[in-house]
Homo-oligomer: A and B are copies of this chain.
Amino acid sequence: MTASTFQAVDPTTGLAFGDQITEMSASDVSGLISKAVATKSAFAATTPSERAAALRAIGAEIESRREKLIEVGMSETALPNGRLTGELSRTVFQLEQFAKLVESGAHYQAIIDRPNAEWVPAPRPDIRKANQALGVVGIFAASNFPFAFSVIGGDSASALAAGCPIVVKAHPSHPNTCRIMGEAVIAGLKKVGISSDTFALVEGINPEITHWIASHPDITAIGFTGSGKVGKILMDISAKREVPIPVYAEMGSLNPVFFSPKSLAEKAVDLAKAAIDSATLGSGQFCTKPGILIVPTGSEGDAFIAEIESYLATIAVAPLLNKGIADRFSSAISGLAKSSSLKTFAGKATDGGFGVTPTVFVVDWADAFKNSELLEEHFGPTTVIIRADFAKFQDVAGKLEGQLTASLHVTAGEDVAKLVEALSQLAGRVIMNGFPTAVAVTAAMQHGGQFPSSSSHTTSVGLDSIYRFLRPVAFQNFIDALLPPALQEANPLGINRITNG
């Protein structure tokens, strides 16, 4: 029997603290979804400026709770102030970015094709197409981004921007942060006169909640950021529904980083520091953490590996987010450390609570598949250095599973076109002379790559993430007044539309 209440846990001590939070039941969840459904038509019909105002009002309500959010966020996640301050700013910034997008009307992708007698094999009637909101979206908050991919993070912001009511599963690793964010969302919606039922927060630690939300007939899409295991459960639930729905799951990724010998010859020390900083940022709990570094055999690679070893020895990280993550990390690391074909480097231990020791493994490419754990994602401060002949880098890329990102350090003039092509087939984002952590919220961002790193080719970061929650509908030969405003002849929304191509 599931506990009827739960509490937050302090990652620095492992001890529970704060309010007893009541576990929601199946009927609680179903009731929240029904209330959200009742707001569906009205919310989808809000104008771009009303929708933008709502997103901005939510942003303002978040800002007005900044101090409290940072304080509670730190106590629940052990992430440092600087990181959470930046993440909160990003969260408000991305709401503003979506507000601007919605105001522009670009998300309607409105196309008007007027009647054309020349069409083959029959004259073309008047056809107009625009995107409209899918309906109520189920969103699962991520543990590792308590603001930017939690209650009103990227998935929620893009779904609301699309005109979809959202039912958000709070993350039990930061339940009080979720509550404050939920209050901000509701306050923002109320301020602009939108029903607060457009948003619902689902609280609990019962894994059945995932099924209650994802299998509910009124849920029309899922936004998820988390483990491959849960992502695949969501995909399976959808496939078994009477009406399958799109599941946008951003799952694990190794984010390979390839180093050419020349790039290492130029700046081995800087690159070693930057690689370890990226791999241990946020205690290594980013989906874009570089989980494997592909280093050329030979003297440049060996020197780089030596730099990594000595720099790592100086590094300690904040405790991990929760017991599950810490236990899985420790078990994977101690398992790998026993393997005879691996060399192991260690950083400084963090004691108490969910503290761990940053750890780097070194393996030759020929041995990389001997241990199935080696090429799996391990959430936490670890990365695997794979030593391979530079001439074989393309083969390495070809053997890896789909990734969110792939990075490549080269110097100008090196002939790596074939490797770049392989990396562009491997990942959604290819980075040159940089590291994959830090994902800009911008139009050109692609965060979502090839399976198993994500469930589809869409992006979960950046403006195009809105298209996950929209569907095109064409209107043929319509009486103008009955068209959606985005398609009416007088263009009452004043948006850009493509007419007759």
Chain A positions near chain B (C-beta within 8 angstroms): 41, 86-87, 89-90, 92-93, 111-113, 119-122, 124-125, 127-129, 132, 134-135, 235-236, 239, 243-244, 246, 401-402, 410, 412, 416-417, 420-421, 424-425, 427-434, 438, 440-446, 450-452, 455-457, 459, 464, 471-479, 482, 484, 498, 501
B473 in contact with A424 (CB, 8 Å)? yes
CB–CB B473/A416 < 8 A: no
Contact of A412 among B121, B235, B479 (CB under 8 A): B479
Known: A121-B93, A122-B86, A235-B244. A477 touches B440 (CB 8 A): no
A165 to B447, CA, bound (A): 26
A409 to chain B, nearest CB (A): 11
Q: Which of B113, B402, B417, B434 contacts A125 (CB 8 A)?
A: B434
Are B476 and A434 in contact, CB atoms less than 8 angstroms apart?
A: yes
Query: Which of B239, B410, B482, B501 meets A416, CB within 8 Å?
Result: B482
Contacts of A235 in B (CB 8 A): 239, 244
The answer to whether A429 touches B243 (Cβ under 8 A) is no
How far does the Cβ of A405 sit from chain B's closest Cβ, in whole Å?
8
Indicate which residue in B433, B444, B476 contacts A111 across the interface (CB closer than 8 Å): B444
- Asked if A478 contacts B432 (CB within 8 A), the reply is yes
B432 in contact with A475 (CB, 8 Å)? yes
Beyond A86-B122, A412-B479, A428-B473, 15 additional pairs, beta carbon < 8 A: A90-B121, A92-B120, A93-B120, A111-B443, A122-B438, A122-B440, A235-B239, A244-B451, A424-B484, A428-B471, A431-B477, A432-B482, A446-B474, A457-B471, A457-B472
A135 to chain B: which residues have CB within 8 Å? 425
Interchain CB contact under 8 A, B132 and A432: no
Contact A127/B445 with A459-B472, A478-B432 known, Cβ cut-off 8 Å: yes
Chain B residues with CB below 8 A from A119, complex form: 93, 440-442
Chain B nearest CB: distance from A86 CB in Å? 3
Report the minimum CB–CB distance from A83 to chain B (whole Å).
9
CA distance A382 to B236 in the complex (A): 37
- Cβ contact within 8 Å between B113 and A476: no
> A430 is contacted by which of B417, B471, B474 (Cβ under 8 Å)?
B474
- Of the residues B87, B132, B243, B444, contact of A127 by C-beta under 8 Å: B444
Most buried by B among A41, A135, A440, A456: A440
Alpha-carbon distance A114/B134, docked complex (angstroms) = 32
The answer to whether A479 touches B410, judged by C-beta atoms less than 8 angstroms apart, is: yes
* Complex interface: chain B residues within 8 A of A402 (CB): 243
B444 touches A113 (CB 8 A): yes
In the docked arrangement, what's the CA distance between A243 and B464, Å? Answer: 24
Distance from A422 Cβ to chain B, minimum over Cβ atoms (Å): 10
Taking a contact as CB atoms under 8 Å apart, the answer to whether A434 and B87 are in contact is: no
Question: Please, which residue of chain B has its CB at the minimum distance from the CB of A473?
Answer: B424
Instruction: Provide the residues of chain B in CB contact with A501, threshold 8 Å.
Output: 443
* Nearest CB in chain B: distance from A120 CB, A: 4
- In contact, A121 and B89 (Cβ under 8 angstroms): yes
Q: With A and B bound together, what is the CA distance between A446 and B417 in angstroms?
A: 38
